[in-house]
Amino acid sequence: MKRVLITGGAGFIAHHVILYLIKNTDWQILSLDRLDYSGNLNRLDYVISGFDKDEKSRVKIIFHDLKAQFNPWIEKEIGDVDIILHLAAGSHVDRSIEYPMEFVLDNVVGTANVLEYARKINDNKTLERFIYFSTDEIFGPAPNGINYRENDRYNSTNPYSATKAGGEELAVAYQNTYNLPIYITHTMNVFGERQHPEKFIPMSIKKIRDGNIVSVHSDKSKTVPGSRHYIHAKDVSEAILFLLNKEINHDVDYGGAKCPKFNIVGSEEIDNLELAKIIAKSQGKELNYEMVDFHTSRPGHDLRYSLSGEKMRKLGWQPSIKLSERIKQVVDWSIKNQKWIEI
């Protein structure tokens, strides 16, 4: 039985990964979290409460703030692990603009402490894989027709994306220097059940339910809405297990970069106005909306992000369920479980 350490286990994406791995493997899961703004133990409790006795026995919750090094007590609590999935991160763009140093500590220093722990336990070369979860935002805004590939240049436009890029480069350095078995993934606009109510999809579900106006970010003309490749957290979890189970022959590029990177991308691009219309239709409600130019008035917000999913498709993975179906699933679940869309 493999033992997997998941940092930020009470976070939105991570708790979906835990649910997926428990249901699709016999692995033991160690969830490490400090339970702050992003972490919500109620998420884990909700998921774990649906497990049978055997499944519950395979989840262990450990409290630790990654700004601090792993002390001997924490190391003993974790024990030996085969895989590390590093998802813990500060991820709120507005908050990163207001408090950039918090994000440097969480996303750069925190990543360094996890990498140091991985280096320590890998002295006997037993660590199978370390996956660092990065973001599409490190590449910056994508002009129309451009879908960034895994090794394209970075252009961080806010402290959140800059610190995620910093953590990513640390991970690359630890593979180059210490030969850690690192993969890096870039995901974009992950959604799903039990997402924080401030995010666009749960916020829109609530506003449409209540007949309120949905603000749709647009260009300065207020005619072109922002667009993304939205992807459900279940699909991200499936992609992670796919990468962990698949033998991948990675070609070192012309510059000698040997750390494999993978874009985990939704199957279709959709603008936020069309997305809001799908949410309204799923509820049988009328959409009341306004186009707002938030991007021009406040630096650090980008109109379009886009990644290429070609590499993962060639490896044999892409989302199997249409985006519209996934959105309807989340809308239906949220209406039945309304406490999760209330702040």
Residues noted as catalytic: 136-137, 160
CA 335 to CA 123: how far, in whole Å? 49
CA 242 to CA 236: how far, in whole Å? 10
Buried b (16+ CB within 10 A) or exposed e, 259-289: bbbbbbbbbebbbbbebbbbbbbbbeeebeb
In order of 18, 24, 91, 320, the CA distances from 61 in angstroms are: 11, 19, 22, 31
- Identify residue 214 by its one-letter amino acid code: V
Closest CA to 202 of 160, 183, 230: 230
H-only helix segments in 105-199: 110-121, 159-178
> Crossing angle of helices 41-48/12-24, nearest 10°?
20
Query: How far, rounded to the nearest angstrom, does the alpha carbon of residue 69 sit from its chain's CA centroid?
Result: 23
CA 98 to CA 100: how far, in whole Å? 6
Q: Does an H or E element contain 98, and which?
A: helix 93-98
CA 315 to CA 312: how far, in whole Å? 5
Closest CA to 114 of 182, 17, 40: 182
Residue 224 main-chain phi, psi, to 5 deg: -115, 110
Strand 83-86, strand 3-7: pairing: parallel
